Amino acid sequence: MKILITGGAGFIGSSVAAGYDSAGHDVTVVDDLSTGRRENLSEGIPLFTIDITDYESLERIFEEVRPDVISHHAAQLDIRRSLREPLIDAQINILGSLSVLELAVRYKAKKIIFASSGGAIYGEPSSLPATESTAEMPISHYGVAKLSVERYLRAYHFLYGLTFTILRYANVYGPRQNPYGEAGVVAIFGGQALRNEVSTIFGDGSKTRDYVFIEDVVTANLLALEKGDCAVFNIGRGIEVSDYDIFESIQRVSAHKNALRFAPHRAGEVKHIALDSRTAQQVLGWTPTIGLEEGLAKTIEYLHSEKPGDNRSLALSAHT
């Protein structure tokens, strides 16, 4: 297939691009490189350096590539920025996504696979793990934007027959994630442990997340090429892990001991989330295969192999 990946030079997007490329698909990437980097892409994968809000430039790419599938990962992913600059967040995450949908219809793409957020869309569910039928109650502008795009996808299917698959990611982590960013606690804590820097937990350490390794996320995206039409899937392990447990696990796996401090809880962040992925298992045939300890070990190994400063411009820190 001809696959166009938006945000494809970042952490998740470039990993998905590599997976599609290895499977023999014809992959093209769009990324403005505001946080992504060209070095994340395998040699031979074309990169168009544009912003998805630039409709005219994006249309020229669609006209040239005429993709069968669009893997839509481009986004403003920082929840704190979405609270500080909600107009910017909406411009990128809603209007930019609408540009992608409009062009998908105009150039007759067969499908859009949308990277949504299981961590932000459900808000604070009354029971966990959340299923796809759990009420969507986002508590951040970022979560509202992701949910809005999901609603637009349903409307575009009804109006124009555009096929979609929505993947609601848990907290994705693994190699290529930015250890210097504002989000992506595994990479941040891992980098700080290796550099013997003080780590910060926002809150009392009891906040929980569901962590899914990048290789499993790539597998979900490969399966979604052929399955899961017009459906929503949680992509997570269904296991709550606290911030403090992540910190301790990284110290154990990395064999490094660094200091820890606590800071006030940050607005817009849910306190507890985990995703039930049984629907993905039943429909897509997807199941997570990498446990937390194994995934942390692979991530630490990658961070240890990187030269200092190499990751400062990595994209898509996967704060989901």
User: Does the annotation count 142 as an active-site position?
Assistant: yes
CATH superfamily of 1-320: NAD(P)-binding Rossmann-like Domain (3.40.50.720)
Three-class SS of residue 201?
A: strand
Distance CA 110, CA 108 (A): 6
C-beta of residue 243 within 8 angstroms of C-beta of residue 199: no
> CB burial class (10 A; 0-12, 13-18, 19+) of residue 200?
middle
CA torsion 48-49-50-56 (nearest 10°) is -40
Distances (CA, A) of 36 to 13, 107, 191: 9, 26, 18
Three-class SS of residue 174?
A: coil
Structural domain spans, the chain = 1-320
Q: Give the ranges where the chain is alpha helix by DSSP (H).
A: 11-22, 55-65, 79-84, 86-90, 96-106, 118-121, 141-160, 185-195, 214-223, 243-254, 278-283, 292-305
Distance CA 177, CA 172 (A): 9
C-beta of residue 183 within 8 angstroms of C-beta of residue 23: no
The pTM of the full predicted model, rounded to 2 decimals, is 0.93
pLDDT band at 97 (very low <50, low <70, confident <90, very high): very high
- Other C-beta atoms closer than 10 Å to the C-beta of 147 total 20
User: For 238-284, how does the pLDDT look when each residue is reduced to its tens digit (9 = 90+)?
Assistant: 999 999 999 999 999 999 999 999 999 988 899 999 999 999 999 99
pLDDT band at 181 (very low <50, low <70, confident <90, very high): low
> CB burial class (10 A; 0-12, 13-18, 19+) of residue 162?
buried
User: 164: which strand partners?
Assistant: 112
What is the rounded average pLDDT for all residues in the chain?
A: 93
User: For 106-141, how does the pLDDT look when each residue is reduced to its tens digit (9 = 90+)?
Assistant: 999 999 999 999 999 999 999 999 999 999 999 999
The active-site residue out of 142, 156, 169, 211 is 142
Supply the pLDDT for residue 182. Answer: 60
- Beta strands 111-117 and 164-169: pairing type? parallel
Among 152, 44, 171, CA closest to 99: 152
The one-letter amino acid at 203 = G
**DSSP state letter for 39:** G
> CB burial class (10 A; 0-12, 13-18, 19+) of residue 96?
buried
